[in-house]
Structure 1
Amino acid sequence: MSGYSRIIHYATSILCGNKGSMEISQLHRQVFQRFEISEEDFLCIVKKCSRFTVIQSRSRTEDGESDCIVVAKTSLRLCKKYSKNECYECQDLHLCKYYVYGNCRYGKGRKECKFSHDIQSQQNYPLLRECTLHELNEDDLFLLLLQNDPALLPEVCAHYNKGTGLFGVCTFMECCTKVHICQHFVQDDCLFGPKCKRLHSFDEHSRRMLEERGLGGDIIHDLPYIYQNVYRLNSQTISSGKGTYIHLHIYTASHRLLRWRRMKCLHFIRRKCKFQDQCVLVHFNLPYKWEVNDGKGWRDLRNMEEIERAYCDPKNEHSPGSRPVDFVSMTRNHDPVRRLSTVSSISKPAHYILTTEWIWYYKGDQENWIEYGQPDDKQRVTSVTSRELEKAFQEDSNAEVTLIKGNRHYYVSFQDMYQRNPKHNTKRRMRRRPRFVSINEVEAKAV
């Protein structure tokens, strides 16, 4: 393992041992005890590495500046079909869900669990090694999976967080099978702290309900903080090279508002938005908007049309210019970059103008990028078109889609953006990029 990899591994272990997240200055101090790396170099590694997400903290450092919080992340997931005995070859972990929860009843008794408890198995170890997670201990790995795989988390009760009653407006009250916890605590913006009427930890009823669902005591203790990290990951995940949002099981009005505030207002572009300053969508004169966070908040990038033109070409990984935007890491000089856009054209009727038409590509044999549904250099066409992939993606951004090209079967994964050939165990990179719309086109359509 290289020095770079050792630093990443050690930082991941520290984060997972600290409920999955930590302020970057504190993380650097702990890493520095083993590796003599400057704060600037460490920040560069963390921001560029796909293992971490960096978000702005609400708290202040000793010199009055905002610190950043680092959250550990991974694209690995537990296989949903494995527990149904329906999976034979995939790129997900084959593990007992209750073992990950730390409370598999079969693992404690004489009767052996029919699902794997072995992270070193022939299925699991290569996947962990590919993601450089094979040296994490089980507790750290399981916490990492929990805060990144939303299918593992119990759903937070939205009704509990409405109204003024002890149980909000939840009619199930103590019999509710969803988690009762303060949504503002999860969002790290609760103004009441210990005096809050909503729970910031789990009471006896919630613990009993979670235990019945198979979660162990240690996981239950950390679960409120895991929810915080899931929310942080979701709030930082923006339209990028993958164009995905991490799906939460926290369905609250404010969460929906947060997501919609990243969408562009179609009516404003056409100068017909009746809500004006009260509109929850972003007002801008283009159907896309590029912004950079320089530590003082999000601000517009210059030469937005040039950046957009470059981004729409799937072969490009950087924008032009002396300070290019990295389209893979969505950064510029290590500063986070985001692209806001109007809704996908799939989600609106055909007569809606200036929606975003997303195009799906896979990497060809000649290092070229080929749109799904279009012929390659041998005139072979995939059975699934770009539009059909976008429709499937809008329905479930974690799905896998099976397709045929020639006489070969493939499946595409929205999670890691690869097209795989299960027979030969090969894979091709995929990309989702918008169709370019110039400023002149926008002005012509907006009238």
Structure 2
Amino acid sequence: MDQQYLLKVICYHQGVLDYADLADIGCGEDVICALDENEVFSVALCNGNKSVIAKTKVRRCKAQQCDGCNDLHLCKFYLFGDCKNSRGRRTCRFGHDLNSEHNSRVLREHKLETLSRQEIRQLLLQNDNSLLPPVCSSYNKGAGLYGNCPDQEGCRRLHVCDRYIRGTCSSGADCNRCHDFFEPHPQRTLQQRGVPNDLMTSMLSTYRNIQAMKNEGAGSAASINRPQSCPPRNTGRRLQEQTAGLCSLGNNVSEQNEICLFFVKGDCKQGEKCWRVHFKMPYKWEVKDGQTWSALPENEVIERDFCDPSKIHSEGSDCVHFDSMSLGFSEVRRLSTVSSVTEPTFVLTTEWAWFWEDEYGKWVQYASIVSGKHRLSSITSEDLEKRYQEDQSAVVKFTAGQQSYELSFRDMTQYNERYGTIRMVRRRPVFVSTVDAQAARSRRNGPRNPSQNFRAVPGFWDKSAIPDIGYRTVTLLSSDRDYQKVQELFNKTMRGFKITSIERVQNRDLWVVFQWKRDLMKKNNGGKNSKELHLFHGTDPKHVDAICRDNFDWRLCGTNGTVYGEGSYFARDAKYSHSYTSDSGVRSMFACRVLVGDYTRGNSDLCRPPPKGEGSPTLYDSCVDNVLNPSIYVVFEKHQVYPEFLIKYDDGVMHWTSSAPAPTKTVSIQSTSLTPKSNQIQATAAATPSKTCFLYSGLLTQPIHFVNETSLISVF
């Protein structure tokens, strides 16, 4: 484990970790030995136990504009989770983007780029003294309700017992100072600084971290005597050192509402001191009984129903209403692990999917395959979840086809800017069964790599068919939503052909690279999503395995023509791709995700996209046949494509037999002739049995009549 990952772990644990736990979480001796002289860690002795606290030199810049600044340009209310100045159509004067060019540079320079917004918030809270009010020293002196504080109720400092924060108050309930951050004065003081109520429970730990670093940095008698050499890694016990006056950094949280990622994947070294819920599933449904919360027995059944956006209540014996989060007259809550977008390297985080309700009452996931007249949205569920985690009161703008929309997180509605129609929006988790959780848990000892856990692939993939190397195909049922959507796209231009199967291609490596390319194109596009389409590619069956395993190679799959450039060709219409399939038996066609991005008209001389301007280093992302109405797309980099679905179909073979029960005999048709006026095909057979089976293979484009000596059969 390197120092960067250790910092992430410590920030995840409210900014502090017991020193003795370092070896247990895989921290190397070189890292442990360097802690005492490290700029990002403060080693403090707390309650007889040596602890490591996260620190940083980064601060939040309080100026709106400044040149050469090395601090974060970030709105503190956005950092806390709710900026009122950005609600509706208003815009905040301060930064709301941790990924901006300036903030990205600052985070990289201080090796903080892997931290989530919540982890950066914890780090800044205990290091940037402009974010939280200091403890009022006058309040902690003298007698009376306000001590010696001259400002009394109007004081902007924190009226909380200083000894309580230090962990040395022996008066307990008899202390005449405040021991509760939810009491009116401290709560109001923190709220005036922008601290929301959901952070109140972590304030004690944060203030204790601040106090411990002050004492350690001041070199007081309470500070730590540094060891002369690095202690052996296998001591297995807490290092005991004599001290006085330092606080305990144990967490004291009044209400737990987040499931611990370390416990759910295996074991949490914090034990009872961990402020998160310890539960073996990444979700937990509870009902309030008086003042206590009790687990609902049908946890997985309720979760499965909740993951279905069309359901507003569970269907088990415990009928939980999801809109009101109630069971009868009792309050219900759902605990879960953090969102997968905030901790992408952890297993068993919660993956959230976003849906909107169409005019037929069907719930459609954002950026899912086009269904009917609905166009592919320019924003994905993952994009929405990232924005939601950044600002839960934001209004997100996106497009779908020629329409522009606004999505309000506060109202959970989607607004069409042209027609004024409003659609309901729902955010539901991707279902994880007990079997799924155990499979993910069994992989926890593998390398910490996003491609090594289920969160790196779509939540709807079959978890039992995701090999470490290569690919697996999963045959979809005709009732599956993806099957129906692919079928609709295919049938738009291929009516009369018979789909024999639609298979989902599950290749972890190709998917991870595709996601990486999508993020890179978004970054190069100024943070805006690049255009992504579902397109067709017809091929010979002999190329299917290579495409599923290694993606498209135009030298193998695109040898039929290079009129718009030497790349891989994809079509808007399945009919076009059909002409490049093999005509022997079952045909093969891919329905692919393609990052077409910005495109221009191609030509046969191109082996890569042309530059966007003369002398410009920036290239187009792809080429097309017609810029105004493209139907053919050419991509030159295979990472822009993911071969998502494999369609197998034939030419619409149809059989007709007489109604008589006697056995039929197949007749070979030797010749046919078409009479244009009657639309009849006269078939001359080698033999003329009384019971005949006619076989016709082909795409029917007009009414046709088959005639033999005894009957006339019409086909429409």
TM-score, normalising length: structure 2: 0.31
More strand as a share of residues: 2
Structure ID, larger Rg = 2
TM-score, normalising length: structure 1: 0.49
